[in-house]
Amino acid sequence: MAVYTDVTAEDLSAHLSRYDIGELLSFKGIAEGVENSNFLLHATAGTFILTLYEKRVDPADLPFFVGLMEHLAARGLTCPQPVKMRSGETLGELAGRPAAIVTFLEGMWIRRPQVHHCAAVGKALAELHLAGEGFAIRRPNALSVPGWRPLYERARDRADTVANGLAATIAGELDHCERNWPKNLPAGVIHADLFNDNVFFLQNRLSGLIDFYFACNDILAYDLAICLNAWCFSPDYEFDFAKGSAMIAAYQAVRLLSHAEKAALPLLARGSALRFLLTRLVDWLNVPPGAVVTPKDPLEYLKKLRFHQKVGSPTEYGLA
């Protein structure tokens, strides 16, 4: 469970007095997520999500996250909307942390995605990329290639306690990505974290996207590579060609990939696997004392990385 900061009912009730959403009925921590403290909030006006932004989040980035959700919704993408206080502000402070309340989206996330789920995600991702055009605020991706080596340095000395030879494997991958990372590919707003628990379905139809707190400006096809890693592997970490084919085809039905993007897809998928291997490894080795959080297994992404290392052509992902 991702709850790093406790909130009392008294403090939360006082915080809600700044809004027009009624009185507090109940609240509880949300099990998913690893970056911020999230709570399901029931007030007399309805159900909402309360997020406390933890110390790893730069407060200067918060206007990007909040503004992006408003921008995307105005262009037809279903995603949570920030709830404004009576003052008109969307960001406040609670328990010593910057805090926001957003609307609640109905739906469930899928633990065992099927081919049609992957197709729906590909379509929604392309729609997000198009809807993000024209968003005025920019946020560089702090977890792109330049940010990976500092993460490695934080984990290097203990990496082999997680898997024998892991430090050397990561070092080799860092060298490879730093030498070969593509330049001048189409870029724009990306979600950067569109995992199963950030996509909701209702009656087998995609009902919305949530958790934009890793969103940033980066290579659009890199976002697709993240989704291939997150959605298109079997429980034993074999790549599912049918799922990959469905996701890519649905994406391209909305936004066609350029030849350069297609050619770069194996490297982008490899880099995506390295990024999540590194962040999960750092979290695995550094759980804050007293935090109610279950760190995600970094070895999942080591296994996926090994698949990508063997890929010789983008057609192996299902790209026609």
Whether 1 maps to a domain, the answer reads no
Q: What is the mean pLDDT of the chain?
A: 93
- Whether the per-residue pLDDT at 288 is higher than 70: the answer is no
Whether 65 maps to a domain, the answer reads yes
Same domain (yes/no): 251, 187: yes
Question: Looking at residue 34, what is its pLDDT?
Answer: 63
Question: Looking at residue 58, what is its pLDDT?
Answer: 82
**CATH number for the domain including 21?**
3.30.200.20
- Whether the per-residue pLDDT at 30 is higher than 90: the answer is no
pLDDT tens digits, 213-251: 999 999 999 999 999 999 999 999 999 999 999 999 999
Question: Looking at residue 193, what is its pLDDT?
Answer: 96
Same domain (yes/no): 123, 99: no
DSSP SS3 for 182? coil
Domain that holds residue 242: 115-317
CB-based burial, 83-117: b 16+ in 10 Å, e otherwise:
bebeeeebbeebeebbbbbbbebebeebeebeeeb
Question: Looking at residue 1, what is its pLDDT?
Answer: 41
CA-closest candidate to residue 51, choices 80, 73, 76, 77: 80
**CATH number for the domain including 169?**
3.90.1200.10
What is the pTM for the complete model shown? 0.92
Please answer whether residues 17 and 2 qualify as being in contact, where contact means their C-beta atoms are separated by less than 8 angstroms: no
Backbone angles phi, psi at 78, to 5 degrees: -85, 115
Name the one residue in this structure whose structure tokens are 């980066």: 218
Question: Looking at residue 206, what is its pLDDT?
Answer: 97
Same domain (yes/no): 198, 284: yes
Cα→Cα distances 308→39, 225, 268, 273, 317, Å: 36, 11, 10, 8, 10
Same domain (yes/no): 98, 127: no
Compute the CA torsion angle 76, 87, 41, 280 (nearest 10 deg): 70
Same domain (yes/no): 142, 85: no
Q: Into how many domains does the chain fold?
A: 2
Whether 2 maps to a domain, the answer reads no
Question: Alpha-carbon distance 67 to 79, whole Å?
Answer: 12
Same domain (yes/no): 68, 199: no
Question: Looking at residue 320, what is its pLDDT?
Answer: 81
Whether 108 maps to a domain, the answer reads no
Same domain (yes/no): 241, 282: yes
Q: Please name the helix (run of DSSP H) or strand (run of DSSP E) that holds residue 303, with its range, or none.
A: helix 299-309
Cα→Cα distances 103→3, 61, 113, Å: 19, 20, 25
